[in-house]
């Protein structure tokens, strides 16, 4: 029997979350024999930087870029970016293209040399209620871009939704707000974890941030890309996935039909199977 190809997965979480959100995926990938690095991006998880110290997208790339620079010249990794962090892995692909075996955009923003910043088209696909109870602050003054903190109702209906037939009532407290939910036990646990650990995300659309996500055909374009569509995503909708794919075709498109936006919680088994298949295909040789 042919031996499975082992890879080094670098997991980059989405907006407001942290490395903690990959805990189910980390366990499975390691059990498959892979090396896994899950990073707390600047301002998240246990990272020391605070929201008022983040001034542009450049700051959000901080932990990923030094990590990539620390790799041995012959080492190649599989970058996995979720949601907003499609921008982060794209910047890493541009700067360290020779050390990325393949980049996986898990329901993530996927820029191109012709479409570096994708917010305008994304805004057109958002629901009318958009951010719901998301709270906004101005940590660097009202003349600077705000930061948003996802509200409990937004998270319950957009990120951790889809009630189970098994059913279980859960009253999840978050600061002064409580959310009544009917979810299966895993969903209650996942949402409770997220409500404890979510952080603010900066809403940067300035020229410096647009420059930070600029990519080229020669570098970024030389890296294999796989896009993972989550068909029940209520944040970055399938309609928008298909628009990015059409305008910037990746090497492959994979679909997880019953997954909502937080695929690492919603369908961790299916995601890990997908990542295993990607490693088998794009990692050359065995360690």
Total of domains in the chain: 1
Q: Does 258 participate in catalysis according to the annotation?
A: no
Out of 190, 209, 233, 259, which one is annotated catalytic?
233
Whether residue 171 lies inside any domain: the answer is: no
Predicted pLDDT of residue 125: 66
The range of the structural domain enclosing residue 111 comes to 8-165+178-282
Whether residue 172 lies inside any domain: the answer is: no
Q: First CA to last CA across the chain, in angstroms? A: 16
Whether residue 287 lies inside any domain: the answer is: no
Average pLDDT of the chain? 78
User: Of 276 and 158, which is predicted with more confidence?
Assistant: 276
Out of 83, 88, 90, 112, which one is annotated catalytic?
83
Whether residue 1 lies inside any domain: the answer is: no
Whether residue 112 lies inside any domain: the answer is: yes
Q: Does 233 participate in catalysis according to the annotation?
A: yes
Q: Does 83 participate in catalysis according to the annotation?
A: yes
CATH number at residue 147: 3.40.50.1820
* pLDDT tens string 16-72: 788 888 999 999 999 999 999 999 887 665 555 666 667 677 777 778 999 999 999
Q: Which of 159, 277, 162 lies closest to 228 in space, CA to CA? A: 277
Confidence of residue 159 (pLDDT cuts 50, 70, 90): confident
Whether residue 21 lies inside any domain: the answer is: yes
* pLDDT tens string 86-101: 999 999 999 999 999 9
């Amino acid at each position: 029997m042919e031996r499975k190809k082992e890879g080094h997965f670098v997991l980059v979480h989405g907006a407001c979350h942290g490395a903690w959100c990959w805990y189910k995926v980390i366990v499975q990938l390691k059990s498959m024999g892979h090396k896994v690095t899950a990073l707390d991006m600047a301002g998240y998880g246990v990272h020391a930087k605070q929201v008022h110290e983040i001034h542009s997208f450049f700051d959000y790339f901080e932990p990923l870029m030094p990590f990539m620079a620390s790799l041995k010249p012959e080492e190649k990794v599989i970058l996995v970016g979720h949601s907003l962090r499609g921008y982060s892995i794209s910047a890493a692909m541009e700067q360290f293209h020779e050390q990325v075996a393949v980049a996986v955009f898990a329901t993530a923003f996927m820029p191109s040399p012709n479409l570096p910043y994708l917010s305008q088209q994304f805004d057109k696909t958002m629901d009318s209620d958009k951010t719901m109870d998301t709270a906004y602050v101005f940590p660097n003054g009202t003349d600077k871009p705000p930061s948003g903190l996802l509200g409990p109702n937004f998270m319950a209906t957009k990120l951790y939704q889809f009630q189970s037939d098994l059913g279980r009532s859960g009253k999840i407290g978050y600061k002064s707000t409580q959310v009544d939910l009917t979810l299966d036990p895993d969903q209650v646990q996942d949402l409770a974890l997220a409500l404890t650990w979510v952080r603010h995300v900066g809403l940067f659309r300035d020229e410096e941030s647009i420059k930070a996500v600029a990519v080229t055909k020669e570098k970024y374009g030389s890296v294999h890309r796989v896009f993972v569509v989550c068909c029940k995503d209520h944040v970055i909708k399938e309609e928008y996935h298909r628009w990015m794919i059409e305008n910037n075709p990746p090497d492959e498109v994979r679909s997880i039909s019953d997954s909502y936006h937080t695929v690492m919680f919603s369908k961790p088994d299916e995601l890990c199977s997908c990542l295993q298949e990607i490693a088998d295909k794009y990692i050359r040789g065995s360690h």
